[in-house]
Structure 1
């Protein structure tokens, strides 16, 4: 732009840029403001052009001239009202004063309706609901899959049983333990259980037999029925007995019956709930009979991970250590190809020469020799399997 007869160069106050782009919606209205700062000797009006042509009568225009704080400053303003009713109303609007001009380019955009926003919100809610349902239905199955794939199998720990089951010899408890719990865990998942219907704490103190049996088991399961709670140690001090059980067993499992739960003393349920981090409480319901119920899934998560073995391969403890001892394998017919050795010892045995016999005095004095050759006993390995046999010392008892 160059100076004119106005004496100074006119400056556009509005629009901020010489070519301004706008994206209004169809059906909206705009007021295009074109303001120019002039010198005191400049006179004239704005001329509006649409797409390089003259303005149509459909658009209203208001022009005004006003002075600034300084008497030498004059401002020329022109406001063009545009109603965007059709696609033809969009385009380039130019306000021109002599050789100075500024433009407004109106681009058409689709009006953002509420339908898309509502559909998006419904989709988000549906995803959250489906995700919550899948989490509630599949969380235990997912945890079981992860545990069975990456969990610790707990082998080579010297334990003979997977769980020690303590129950009361009542009609309901015996049927549940022998006809539901034991067959399901042993036949379906190959767990090995040790059942005990005697009082687990007869004198509120663990007996030596109890300590031995529990130490041979990886978990402790207590069928906590109303008949079980009628035992002396439960009635006298269930709290002290529970803490003793927590000392001798890692995270014991307590099974309660739903139809008896309301009759369980409040102090018992409160104590079990307060120890959720150190024990596991399961509730047997009417729908827990199904193998796919949450009861069996939670019980399997509380029990150790099992490893599927090929038939005839023996216990994983002996299998992992490549033990050929016929006393520790399933089939003992041809378990040890070297009967002269023991515990898998494979070495050359050198026997000492036979002992010298005393000169024969009389044929009657001679007796059949019953001596056994024990010259190779020193080469055998009789070290105890500390990882297989569970030994208890007197201080521990």
Structure 2
């Protein structure tokens, strides 16, 4: 005769091969993430090196062109000095015209200021004036450009003889200005390309993850189908045997129904779940009552409900219970089967949201682990696939348009997870 005391709870142990396989899968998932992260860093480093090389090389070209333009202006100043101090002849005028044409070729804006600090439009080069502008406005434009030129380059002196000295002020040519800013434009383009590549990479990664999740889930559901059918037959056999306590069959049937629901969850992954307004507090209370009978009796569950009686949220009940189960079982493991789990439901004022905080009194986690806790394959336990919290986050954020994150965690004191859902009111 089979008997079971009320406080006795069934214990299931994984076969060593199953534990080993789960560890291998977890390492494979983590290796995949590490490799993809390495690729992202590699692409970033390559773009950075290309940008630095471009900036360095362009800066060399800018310096060379700047020196060439300065030499052209110096030649222009030298020619102007000869014009002023030498007898005019046809040959020299030709030479001077060649020098002036060179300055014009490089489109170097220049202004000549005589020994009396005076200038005029006919003493400027490569400065365009509007056709309809007045003489006073031309003078104002010249003075404005002259003020800018004085800040850009030191003037080139022109010795006029008898102690007189004029000056030529100039600015960088349009070509040089373009070349100076070209690396920054190129860097912006590279950053844009890098950002687009990152988006494409992330999109491909998510698509790959979705295929992995869907395939894994559906295969799991398929594998569970056969033993579930056998278990249901055993339940009926236990009921038909008068020597077996009927309560045993009832408890086994509850677990079989639970397994069937889990199988349904897995088989539905990849499909868009149906959401409807559900009383969150009622679902949580019922599920916690079910769960606390199937974990360590040294774990105390407490639900603090601060929601209004009519307050609901758009949920898929089965998937939502799966999220709560994953978080609570992780909490039980973190506490070593001894401690407290407090579930708090609240609705912030003036906000169409619902907050569910699940706090444990476990060992807590470091900030580094907080950043990786939802990564597939990451787990601080020796067994398991490290997929529970990953799936929980995807269920809340992808299917319920909510949020799941670690609200806070302190080493030696425990961890609090927060779920944010979109609240709704039943009319």
| TM-score of the aligned structures, taking structure 2 as reference length | 0.24
| TM-score of the aligned structures, taking structure 1 as reference length | 0.26
Q: If each structure's helix is expressed as a fraction of its own residues, which one has the higher value?
A: 2
Q: Which has the larger radius of gyration?
A: 1
